[in-house]
Structure 1
Amino acid sequence: MSTRRDFLRLAAGSVAVAGASGLLGGTALASGPRRVPPGHIGIQLYTVRSLMTTDAQGTLDALGRIGYSTVGVSGLYGHTPEQFRTMLDRAGLRAVLTHLSLNAIRGDWQRELANAHVLGVKYVVVPSLPSSLWTPAGYRQVAAEFTEAGRAARDAGLGFLYHNHDFDFRTVEGEVLYDILASETDPRYVDFELDLYWAIRAGYDPVEYFERYPGRFPVFHVKDMAPDGSFEDVGHGTIDFRRIFRRRDVSGVREYVVEHDQPADPLASAARSCRTLRTIRF
């Protein structure tokens, strides 16, 4: 994996030198620069979780004013799906995905899919796996479960995705765990919400995965990395988003969902990242 890691260090380093202005500037492609479709710029509500717990409607309203069109749902903060959908509608936002635990697909999955329809999402997403499953055998077990859950989701008119962290790229017993999910889930029923930060933090190139598994990454978690490896607002860190976004025809990306796990000021962070996605050209 050293070659892959070296490649990523070079890619990240070039952006670190250029800084945010380098990310947003640059020479246009011969056919003219492309942009992120404004109607597909969203934010994972985990970013503003501290505000959602005290004023969900006010927070959603603020995100709409900032310029977001969509959100990724990370829990309902004590509201019913119907109440949450009403708040989203009032804020002028669309929920494109909802994060549901592994236990959700092992429980009353049909009820969860019905709730997802109330929210109006396109995708149901398992956001993480417990450490007890971080083995090739565990990931093979989950791959089979995902395929069955994904089949039921497709029958209900929804897409089924898995969201990665860095631990998903661990090599265990000679196998990269994420590769087991990518290769052993049925692509008719299972795709991926690729968290760009966590993939790169683990030393892997998202573009390589697009080429190996084309069309299977309909959602990006757009999260930037500071030079010290911590989280940063999108466009103000080291990740070369222009290079990644240029390959959208191969990745299959449709939704660009901002996330920052530890923002000092959640709404200010959300606004900075939104400006990047609305102004970046690639």
Structure 2
Amino acid sequence: MTRLGIQLIIFGKRSGDDLPGVLADVKAAGYDGAEVGNPTTSVAAHDYKQLFDDAGLACAGYHTGVGALTDLDHVRETAAHMNTVGTKHLMAGGKWPDAAGYEDAAQTLNAAGEILESEGISLCYHNHNWEFFDLPEGRGTGMEILLHNTDPAYVHFCFDLYWVACGGEDLVSFLQAYGHRSNYLHYKDGTFDLETKQPLTFTELGNGQVKLIEATRVVKTLSPAWITTEQDRVAEGGDPATSAKISADYARSVLGI
């Protein structure tokens, strides 16, 4: 069964200062769980698990950078922390200027992903818009390199629907072609300039340009473990808890998640 999560980026600094209060707001908004940064080196795993247990929530996943995965001892430490907390998805993102950078990143992902998979954890590459930009010397795009140079047994994808669309892809066609590589998705909405492939605003689900209803028809055939909302920031003067609830209500009532 697919569960509904939220990336805590929407709460900004408060997630670090008042995590129990943030999780209480997440629970009140109607989510099943929350995705966080990587707390492995800052909070003991049992203590972190207790925070989620007290809130009545699951930890949907951790988020890190691909650069951190080059330290395989740290990868193993992260896996142990995640298994104690009870979360099974590690998101990782990055950005490189050329094909060689993406090829190296693919090998980093393969090595870390093999370790994580052996510990029952899915490593999921999280995209932005830049993976869909043409690379120098006619070497295609970063996304093409990552898709074709990572081992599907060890590397999954956390496709972010907003960034896929902002990057100029037809969202439905993209999910039909590559959705099988994803067991965890980010649902983000907002506006963007298709000519420049650049973001303009981030909004609650249902208030932007992303074709979420059409995309969800495909996503439901994939049966991902989590669909996690992600709103990078709220409008000036806005309240994160209110925006979080708007997105949860849309996901539940309109998208049927």
TM-score strictly above 0.5 = yes
1:253 aligned residue (215, 219, 224):
224
Distance 1:184 1:122 in 2: 23
Distance 1:144 1:122 in 2: 21
How do 1:40-79 and structure 2 match up within 5 A?
40-76=3-39, 78-79=42-43
Match of 2:154 in 1: 189
Q: Identify if the C-alpha distance between structure 1 residues 178 and 85 changes in structure 2 by more than 3 Å, giving closer, same or farther.
A: same
2:131 aligns to what SS in structure 1? helix
Number of aligned residue pairs: 242
Aligned letter for 2:8? Answer: L
Match of 1:149 in 2: 112
Match of 1:105 in 2: 69
Match of 2:233 in 1: 262
Contact 2:117 2:123 in 1 (8 A): yes
Q: Identify if the C-alpha distance between structure 1 residues 184 and 82 changes in structure 2 by more than 3 Å, giving closer, same or farther.
A: same
> What is the deviation of 1:269?
0.8
Q: Which runs of 5+ in 1 are unaligned?
A: 1-36
TM score, norm. by length of structure 1: 0.80
Contact 1:104 1:112 in 2 (8 A): no
Match of 2:59 in 1: 95
Greater strand fraction, Structure 1 or Structure 2? 2
Match of 1:162 in 2: 125
Distance 1:202 1:84 in 2: 36
Contact 1:61 1:90 in 2 (8 A): no
Match of 2:169 in 1: 204
> What is the deviation of 1:251?
4.4
> What is the deviation of 1:120?
1.2
Aligned letter for 1:155? Answer: S
Q: Which runs of 5+ in 2 are unaligned?
A: 194-199
> What is the deviation of 1:227?
6.8
Aligned letter for 1:195? Answer: D
Distance 1:278 1:94 in 2: 18
* Greater RCO (Cα-Cα under 8 Å, separation 6 or more): 1
Deviations 1:175-204 (A, max 9, x none): 111111011111111110011111111111
User: How high is the sequence identity, in percent, across the aligned residues?
Assistant: 28
Q: Identify if the C-alpha distance between structure 1 residues 49 and 82 changes in structure 2 by more than 3 Å, giving closer, same or farther.
A: farther
TM score, norm. by length of structure 2: 0.87
1:215 aligns to what SS in structure 2? helix
Match of 1:275 in 2: 249
Contact 1:193 1:220 in 2 (8 A): yes
Q: CA RMSD in A?
A: 2.0
1:247 aligns to what SS in structure 2? helix
Q: Identify if the C-alpha distance between structure 1 residues 65 and 190 changes in structure 2 by more than 3 Å, giving closer, same or farther.
A: same
Distance 1:270 1:281 in 2: 15
> What is the deviation of 1:208?
2.3
> What is the deviation of 1:223?
0.7
> What is the deviation of 1:210?
2.5
Match of 2:197 in 1: none
